[in-house]
Structure 1
């Protein structure tokens, strides 16, 4: 065992006052159940409770994952936004299948969502962009995601120039801004338990209704 592995073994996990969960007290609709858990995470002060991992697959079959911020849960779909020139946007245009993961450490809770992503309407896309702070809009307009930079100063220069443009044109919407809406096909709720008898409640869409069942951890 390496020194790192040995050190990792000593780190505590599933710490704190973990809540007891009756799995079948969750809503039969997973989006509603998710919002309930998200509200609880917000109420207990979980750090960045809207942070969500998004996994996609590129044209070669290479999986990629990154963390973004959830922007809403609407009509049973999970939403997040991105620059259309980003890797995740290119991946989703090639293959709309994706997976989302949320973890709220203070509660020992995890939710996994598997489904397909589609872009929202033009009006919703524009409204999402304009709802962001001037500084955020400037950063989004400053450059192409993943584009090489010669220095940190170059990045700051691009952002300052973009901020000047935002101040001059407050109604400006980036052409490449996209909002993606993920319609779930599977959702799993996981509640950690200190004795490791974890709760896993799995939802699967059968084409007509949600099938819900408790599964072994």
Structure 2
């Protein structure tokens, strides 16, 4: 089909899509708090009030021992004042295995309705058995049953195998409501740096990066 084929159609479609086609909030860097956690709470609260869908969803990027990255979207479970963001997964999952070999990760929150991103990068540390168990037991029965199957990311040859495994897991939960999936882990990303990105229609994007120092946080405005 040459230049009139599907590739061109997709390219034209992508270029035709609007970007930042909404009213965007302002970001006064000079008025920003001295630490990134306070600013994150401000932005998250604003996103919730603005009706942003699933504002607690974030991408998590990890890398294997060879440095090959992988990413996925999951839910932020908690945030502590020292600059640690939390998520949970099975230690036997792909991300769990990669973190065991390379305990660093990057997070990204994207709130397109407001033209905002928050990027977090740092070392990842398990939160411990007690907090991990509490996180697991706070999940819905369906989410707990899914985790109890213990086969995330493995090849599924027959969908009926999944149905059977879920029935078994639900029965296990009914028999023992306090059961916790082996290897379920709450992980904390202790940020080395956090960047706040505010879009601008004229591409004069505002970027503010916080970098952890021994005495606190250093702040730097970045070029767009």
Q: TM-score range by the shorter chain?
A: over 0.9
Contact 1:116 1:182 in 2 (8 A): yes
For 1:143, the equivalent position in structure 2 comes to 150
Distance in 1 separating the partners of 2:97 and 2:184: 13
1:53 lines up with 2:62 in the alignment: no
Normalised TM-score (structure 1): 0.96
> Residue 96 of structure 1 aligns with which residue?
103
Unaligned runs of 5+ in 1: none
Corresponding position of 1:180: 187
Q: CA deviation at 1:24?
A: 2.4
* Partner SS state of residue 59, structure 1: coil
Measure, in 2, the Cα distance between the counterparts of 1:166 and 1:102. 33
Contact 2:197 2:208 in 1 (8 A): yes
Q: Hey, what's the Cα distance between the residues in 2 that align with 1:156 and 1:48?
A: 28
Q: Deviations over 1:55-103 (max 9, x none)?
A: 1110121111111110010232000000111111111111111111110
Distance in 2, matches of 1:102 and 1:152, equals: 33
**Number of the residue aligned with 2:37:** 31
Displacement of 1:37 in angstroms is 0.8
Q: Which residue number corresponds to residue 208 of structure 1? A: 215
Whether contact under 8 Å (1:143, 1:158) holds in the other structure is: no
The count of corresponding residues between Structure 1 and Structure 2 is 217
Could you list the structure 1 runs, at least 4 aligned residues long, displaced by more than 6 angstroms after superposition.
none
Separation of aligned partners in 2, 1:5 and 1:195: 23
- For structure 2, the 5+ residue unaligned runs are none
The residue that corresponds to 2:87 in the other structure is 80
Match for 2:196 among 185, 189, 196? 189
Q: Residue 17 of structure 1: CA displacement?
A: 1.4
Q: How many angstroms apart in 1 are the aligned matches of 2:176 and 2:30?
A: 51
Say whether the 8 Å CA contact 2:210–2:217 is kept in structure 1.
yes
**Contact 2:145 2:170 (8 Å CA) reproduced:** yes
Give yes or no for contact 1:35–1:73 (8 Å, CA) kept in 2: no
Question: CA–CA distance in 2 between the matches of 1:47 and 1:27?
Answer: 25
Q: CA RMSD in A?
A: 1.2
d(CA) in 2 for partners of 1:176, 1:130? 14
User: TM-score under structure 2 normalisation?
Assistant: 0.93
